[in-house]
Amino acid sequence: MAAFLQWRKFVFFDKEAVSDPLDNGKKFVLPKGISASDSGRGLLVLGDILLTEIWLVTRSLQLTSFQAYKLRVTHLYQLKQHSILVSVGLDEHGINPLVKVWNLDKRDSGNPLCTRIFPANLGTKPTEVSCLSIHENLNFMAIGFTDGSVVLTKGDITRDRHSKTVTLHEGSSPVTGLAFRQVKSTHLFVATLEKVYVSQEYPKVELDSHGCALRCSSLADPSQDSQFIVAGDECIYLYQPDGRGPCFAFDGQKLLAHWHQITELISPSEKQLLTVYDLDNKFIAYSFCFDDVIDVVAEWGSFYILTRSGTMFLLQEKDTQTKLEMLFKKNLFVMAINLAKSQHLDSDGLSEIFRQYGDHLYLKGDHDGAIQQYIRTIGKLEPSYVIRKFLDAQRIHNLTAYLQALHRKSLANADHTTLLLNCYTKLKDSSKLEEFIKSSETEVCFDVEIAIKVLRQAGYHRPAVYLAEKHKHHEWYMKIQLEDLKNYQEGLHYIGCLPFEQAESNMKRYGKTLMHHVPEGATLLLKNICTNYYPTGEAVSVDHCQANSEEFIPIFANNPRELKAFLEHMIKVDSCSPQGVYDTLLELRLQDWAHEEDLEKKKILQGEAVSLLKSDNTLFDKALVLCQMHNFKEGILYLYEKGKLYQQIMHYHMQNEEYGKVVEVCKHYGDQEGCLWEQALGYFAKKEEDCKTFISEVLHHIDQKNLMPPLLVVQTLAHNSTATLSVIKEYLINKLKRESQQIEADDKKISQYREETSVLRSEIKELKTSAKIFQKTKCNMCNSPLELPSVHFLCSHSFHQHCFESYAESEAECPTCTPENRKVMDMLRSQDQKRDLHDHFNRQLRISNDGFSVVADYFGRGVFNKLTLVTDPPGSKTVGSLEVDLQRDLLIHTKKNN
């Protein structure tokens, strides 16, 4: 029970007498003899007992009236949601009061339309009406009588044929109050002088054993759960259909009780005291004494106090901001907050109250209370306003509470997270810190990366690792594990649990560190990543995820043994490994071979290196460079041979002074590259050692294959002091013998050609001077007997004319002799051209200072390209002999210039 004397009093209303709008300065005067009043739908409704009229007062205070009864008006009820007015009054003495229903929107001869008239009581004995209540849905009307009975009308109250009237209750105590409550179902509260009960049609349920005076009950609005208010002499009681609710101890006799958001009571004294109570916030909003109050009605957002003197007073409620300022001045912040909530003040307004309240408590030194108020401003007040206050005051505990609340509402930024974590670390509150970072995402939201940085900087590595792992910040997890905690095995295991893309990127970033500390595990993980990776603890992945093994080679910079194992594994499981894998593995094998001193092991390593060179995956240029770097003879020679670099093979043996190998190279590859013998001869010629045996062998092959002119051979060997005449004696003798034989053969040819020429000349002369007798009897084309017309040639060939025309290419040439004649003519023309070219070439070569430029020019024009005639017999060197002569002359001329 709340004591009335403990409630604070305020003046939250402004009182003034209502002025007459038609006569400024004069008070508005009510009609005399008001017996009933009500309000609603923008009207004040007054019943005049003297004139038996009903007065309607508009907002502009214009008065209109109409005749309602002949004797008097006793009760009025204006519905709030309909323009329906229900009145109770008397038209004749000695009969039951009449109930009339008026439609204020419709007119009948200028007056509101009366839609229904019926007796208030069902009996024949006249009974005075004490109170009246109507449901806003127009389907229920309850009338209370002084004899204790209650009559209920159900159905449309505006029409007779659609309604039904029954006696709901009977009793001995006068009915003093009625009210309909509509929450899910309809209840009727009934108050008498002795009791309070509720009815849901039948039966009635008694709620209390004491009642109230006439007009001392009312129904609260839905914000108070539509409770029935009964104002007794000692207390105000609130009722619900299932029993009595709270009560308030307001002592004193009550004359009138109304509900309009807040409760109004008028208590008797020397004058009548009107008190406005705010039951929600537990204070008195207004209290003032008036003379002869008839009623208090609420309309147009204000209260109107009707007095018997005819004066009408206006109670205008102050606006919410004014009321709050009044409370602020008295430092009544809690009451201001409650008032603002009851007035449904917006969140910005409430936040400002909380801020002022927090400032007030802060100045008083109540930091704990202040921070609680500041927390309620989160989302409206700039956090820096609060943070600065408590940073300056060095109230880390309070600041921590505020920052925690800021994070719980997901309104913290990175700086707030940093500050909160710093508070935890300064307080060394590990439990709170752990609770904060382990809270679920629905409870708190913060910048995880910032939190990890702060924790790491403060030395809280374990919480930082927890956050990084929970929120999948893989980079931070690895940094802390490897750089701070030195948990290399944990870091390696963590990478192995990541999806392929993230595992690959993290191994590229941290692979060197892991390889240094856990080489075996790191190598194994890299093998998985570069073959068919799937995270640890999961089934084998259906999708084939494989990284580029070549990209991980730099990780093994200081771990050649692990690198070799890794590369050998890669080429074993994947024959299509990148080129860099094979190149690097070859280099490693060559390094091992070069540093191995055990001959047996060295031989094994040599075989491994050669086998890798023989694979199709080795890049020639790189492999050759590696073999040369490590002086790997077998590999160098194999690659030279593979690349058909026969001169390089010979030069290699020359550099190593392996004379026998030089000759063997010439024997093996001399047929494919003839210049090898000439280079070998030049090589041995420059040696001062006794190389007669090798020179003789080389000369033998040169002689057999006629690779060099004798003069060039002599000039080449002239530089060797050990090469005496005996060395080339046999070569020169053989050469001279063959030349002599060639001269004899040429002389025989010349004699033969002279004889043939003499015969031909005789034939020509004979043909020119003597007649030619044609005695052929058969055609040389078809071998049939000749018939006229026929064609005869001086070469003694004859043809049918039709055969000649069919096969002859020219009318002046014999078809049989034409191929041979053309061959001879082509040879003659070729020799003439070659002879002219040879003379011109020799002339330019003699007068030029740069013989090689002349040769290069002729090569570019294709002069030295061999012209092969289709008529040349196989193995003939007739046409090619000129090129040999040119080459020989070129070599001799170049040698002289040098």
Range with lowest mean pLDDT among 298-307, 689-698, 732-741? 689-698
Tell me, what's the pLDDT at 102? Answer: 94
- Looking at per-residue confidence, does 644 or 898 come out higher? 644
Tell me, what's the pLDDT at 239? Answer: 92
Note whether residue 342 is domain-resident. Answer: yes
719 and 796 in one domain? no
Task: Tell me: pLDDT of 720 over 70.
Answer: no
Task: Tell me: pLDDT of 889 over 60.
Answer: no
Task: Tell me: pLDDT of 657 over 50.
Answer: yes
Diameter of the chain measured on Cα atoms: 190
Mention every residue, 6+ apart, whose C-beta is less than 8 A from residue 553. 563, 567, 580, 581, 584
pLDDT band at 836 (very low <50, low <70, confident <90, very high): low
Mean pLDDT of 705-722: 65
**Neighbour tally for 686: CB within 10 Å:** 12
Note whether residue 404 is domain-resident. Answer: yes
Cβ distance 867 to 831 under 8 Å? no
User: Which of 826, 827, 808 is CA-nearest to residue 818?
Assistant: 808
pLDDT in tens, 746-805: 888 889 888 888 888 887 787 777 777 777 778 888 888 877 888 887 777 888 888 877
Q: What is the enclosing helix (H) or strand (E) of 729?
A: helix 725-769
Cβ distance 557 to 513 under 8 Å? no
Q: Rounded to 5 degrees, what are φ and ψ at 248?
A: -130, 130
> What is the DSSP code (8-state) at residue 202?
S
406 and 325 in one domain? yes
Domain stop point among 411, 443, 478: 411
Tell me, what's the pLDDT at 897? Answer: 44
Mean pLDDT of 528-547: 72
Note whether residue 350 is domain-resident. Answer: yes
Task: Tell me: pLDDT of 283 over 70.
Answer: yes
pLDDT in tens, 235-247: 889 999 888 888 8
370 and 299 in one domain? no
Note whether residue 161 is domain-resident. Answer: no
Q: Which residues pair with 299 in a beta bridge?
A: 302
Task: Tell me: pLDDT of 398 over 60.
Answer: yes
350 and 296 in one domain? no
**In Å, what is the CA distance from 247 to each residue of 2, 198, 546?**
7, 18, 80
Tell me, what's the pLDDT at 2? Answer: 44
pTM for the full predicted model: 0.52
Range with lowest mean pLDDT among 49-63, 292-306, 663-677, 869-883? 869-883
Task: Tell me: pLDDT of 863 over 70.
Answer: no
The C-alpha R_g of the chain, in whole angstroms, comes to: 65
Structural domains in the chain (count):
4
Task: Tell me: pLDDT of 896 over 50.
Answer: no
Mention every residue, 6+ apart, whose C-beta is less than 8 A from residue 540. 532, 534
Task: Tell me: pLDDT of 722 over 60.
Answer: no
Tell me, what's the pLDDT at 874? Answer: 39
- Looking at per-residue confidence, does 444 or 258 come out higher? 258
Task: Tell me: pLDDT of 176 over 90.
Answer: yes
pLDDT band at 895 (very low <50, low <70, confident <90, very high): very low
CATH at 368: 1.25.40
Tell me, what's the pLDDT at 103? Answer: 94
Domain stop point among 360, 378, 411: 411
State how far the Cα of 243 lies from the Cα of 682, in Å rounded to an integer: 133
pLDDT band at 737 (very low <50, low <70, confident <90, very high): confident
Mean pLDDT of 191-217: 88
781 and 806 in one domain? yes
Q: Which residues pair with 228 in a beta bridge?
A: 219, 239
pLDDT in tens, 39-72: 999 999 999 877 788 999 999 888 899 999 988 8
State how far the Cα of 538 lies from the Cα of 536, in Å rounded to an integer: 6
Note whether residue 658 is domain-resident. Answer: yes
25 and 13 in one domain? yes
Cβ distance 200 to 186 under 8 Å? yes
Return the percentage of the chain with pLDDT > 70, whole number.
84
285 and 311 in one domain? yes
Note whether residue 631 is domain-resident. Answer: no
Task: Tell me: pLDDT of 879 over 60.
Answer: no
- Looking at per-residue confidence, does 744 or 829 come out higher? 744
709 and 650 in one domain? yes
Return the percentage of the chain with pLDDT > 90, whole number.
15
The boundaries of the domain holding residue 335 are: 319-411
Domain stop point among 316, 336, 366: 316
340 and 293 in one domain? no
State how far the Cα of 248 lies from the Cα of 237, in Å rounded to an integer: 7
Mean per-residue pLDDT over the chain, rounded: 80
* β-bridge pairing 283-290 and 293-299: unpaired
State how far the Cα of 529 lies from the Cα of 723, in Å rounded to an integer: 67
Note whether residue 487 is domain-resident. Answer: no
* β-bridge pairing 262-267 and 236-240: unpaired
Tell me, what's the pLDDT at 872? Answer: 41
Task: Tell me: pLDDT of 619 over 80.
Answer: no
- Looking at per-residue confidence, does 861 or 27 come out higher? 27
State how far the Cα of 845 lies from the Cα of 855, in Å rounded to an integer: 8
Burial of 147 (0-12, 13-18, 19+ CB in 10 A): middle
Task: Tell me: pLDDT of 807 over 80.
Answer: no
397 and 331 in one domain? yes
Mention every residue, 6+ apart, whose C-beta is less than 8 A from residue 69. 52, 87, 89, 90, 91, 98, 100
pLDDT in tens, 63-78: 899 999 988 899 999 9
Q: Rounded to 5 degrees, what are φ and ψ at 168?
A: -85, -45
**In Å, what is the CA distance from 415 to each residue of 411, 466, 475, 480?**
11, 21, 22, 22
Mean pLDDT of 364-387: 89
361 and 385 in one domain? yes
Note whether residue 857 is domain-resident. Answer: no
729 and 802 in one domain? no
Task: Tell me: pLDDT of 393 over 80.
Answer: no
